[in-house]
Structures are given as C-alpha cells and as structure tokens.
Amino acid sequence: AKSAGGNRFELADPEADARAITRHGLTTALPTALERGEFFIEYQPLVHLGDGSVRGAEALVRWLHPQHGVLGPDRFIPLAEHTGLIVPLGRWVLEQSVRQAREWRELHGGAEAMGPLRINVNLSPCQLTHPGLVQDTVDILERTGIEPDALCLEVTESALIGADDDLLKPLRRLAEMGVDIALDDFGTGYSNLANLRRLPVSILKLDRSFTQSMQQFPADPVDLKIVEGIVSLAHSLDLAVTVEGVETGAQAEQLRILGCDTAQGWYYARPGPPERLHELALVDATG
C-alpha cells in the first residue's frame, strides 16, 4: 500500500520494504542478466481478422531470473529504462526477433502467397532518443538479410505525444526505409487525432481497454461508435488497425465487423516459444 505520509510510513511497511529491496536487487542484477543470457523472448501471433491467418508475431521479452523465476516485462523494463540498460537490451531483443523472423521464413516456404511472417518489436522511449537507433536497426536487418518491410516497431502513443521533429526524425528515416511504425496502446493517451497525420506511423494498435468494452454482444452502442470512428479515421489516413487483448470470439467478431484489420490476444494464442508460432502459421498455411 502507498503511504500518504512519506518515508516514515514507508519504512514501517514491510511489504513496501520488500518491494524496494527486490527492485534494487533486480536493478543491480540486470546487466549481468543480459551477459548471462537470462532473457528470452515469447512470440504472440498477429492474426488477420478477415481470414484468420497468422500474419506475424509480437516479440515480448521475459527474464528467467535464477531466484525469482520468470519475470514479466512490467517487472524489469521500467528498471532497465531507468538505468539505461534498455538500450542494449532493446538491441538484443531486436536482433533476436529479426533472426527468428528469418528462421520462420526458412521453415515456412509454403506460405508465400501471404508474404513472410512479420515481426513486431517494442521500442521504449529511451531507445527513440538514443542516437544509434537507425544505424543499429539497419545493421541488424543487413546482417540478417530481412527486408525492412517485414519489421514493425511499436512505439506507445504516450512516447510520441508532443514529440518534436528531433524525436520523429529517426522514426521517419526508418519509415522511409520501409519499416512499419505502429502506435501502441492507442486511445490511452491524450493525443488528438489530427496529430496522427504528423506522425510517421502506418498502424494503430488499439488499446486493450477498447477490446474489453466489446465483452458483451452486442457491445455498448457508444463504445461501438467510438471504435467505429477510430477505425474509419485510421483507414482514411491509410493506417491499418490492430486490436490487442482479444480474449473471446464475440470480441473478435465485433471488431472484425467494425473493420479492424488484425488482432492479437489469448483467444488466438498466448505468447509462447517460437516453435509454437511456426506451428500455428504452418497449420494455417496448409489448412
């Protein structure tokens, strides 16, 4: 529990103490964790809402901590951002994911009609301001032999709110090369929709909160109107719409009817090892 009274109460709160100790412990363990290869990536399929085919996957990093077991990104990404380790960690995630995409492509000869599986990688705001971003990305793509248009970088809406040209420049360069930029968690920030035109994004990822509002069938008419409005605006700006957090068939169906293009969520598959993604895509390609 958070205390209103400052340090005095916090010290008296053993739970808060334990959390602070863990936080500190995790922070100091982060750099060695990267060296020791304790991070791994799970992949969650991105599914075409029209025909149900697997089109790609989002890379989601995890930490297999020797004492605490598997830790989710919410536990350590903020710490890595705080210490700057997010830059090498993010670079590692990008390289691993792009290599994985290449491996899928080699295994996945049968699905040429749909194009290669695409790979989505999250970018933290700290990586955006890091001067090496464009060059690192170019190097990784070249080393791996993957075309830029098989890669999508996801940036949260909040990271780009009020972004000036300096911040947008690297994203523009990547977009010009053919890398897709997705606006993640869209609808949770305060950006005005007109602002979208200024951003070098080609995909909107509608936040899970919208998907949750589609739990009932039929959903609340006002929620339906809002999503419908976002989708039609997005499409008029030539942006594709991906929905996240789809947990039920009813949600998938309503979002499909509303015109969303791609979906992601437990209804299709939880994040999992790369072999799993390959199996799903293969089943899909061979029917």
Binding site for ligand C2E (CB under 6 A): 44, 60-61, 72-74, 77, 90, 93, 122, 124, 184-185, 244-247, 264-266, 271
Q: Which stretch binds Ca ion (CB under 5 A): 115-123, 130-138, 258-266, 278-286?
A: 115-123
Distance CA 231, CA 242 (A): 10
Half-sphere exposure of 248 (CA within 13 A, CB side): 11
Instruction: Provide the minimum distance between the beta carbon of 197 and ligand C2E in the complex, in angstroms, as a whole number.
Output: 24
52's tokens: 């149900």
Query: Is residue 42 close enough to count as binding Ca ion by CB under 5 A?
Result: no
Q: Which of ligand C2E, Ca ion, none is residue 74 near (CB under 5 to 8 Å by kind)?
A: ligand C2E
Site string for Ca ion, 147-166 (x = CB under 5 A): -------x------------
User: Which of ligand C2E, Ca ion, none does residue 9 bind to, with CB < 5 to 8 Å depending on kind?
Assistant: none
Instruction: Decide if residue 122 touches Ca ion (CB under 5 A).
Output: yes
CB of 205 to Ca ion, least distance (A): 5
Q: Rounded to a whole number, what is the distance in angstroms from the first to the last CA of the chain? A: 51
| Distance in angstroms (rounded) separating the CA atoms of residues 90 and 154 | 12
Interacting residues of 23 by C-beta distance below 8 A, sequence separation 6+: 79
- C-alpha distance from residue 56 to each of 150, 258, 275 (Å): 9, 22, 13
* Dihedral class, residue 114 (left if φ above 0, else alpha if ψ from -120 to 50, else beta): alpha
Looking at residue 168, its amino acid is L
Between 180 and 185, name the residue whose CB sits nearer to Ca ion. 185
Distance of closest approach, residue 92 Cβ to ligand C2E, in angstroms: 9
Considering CB distances under 5 to 8 angstroms, the limit depending on partner class, which of ligand C2E, Ca ion, none binds residue 245? ligand C2E
Angle between helices 165-177 and 133-144 (to 10 degrees): 10
Least spacing, CB of residue 170 vs ligand C2E, in Å = 15
Which residues bind to Ca ion, rule: CB under 5 A?
Answer: 122, 154, 184-185, 244
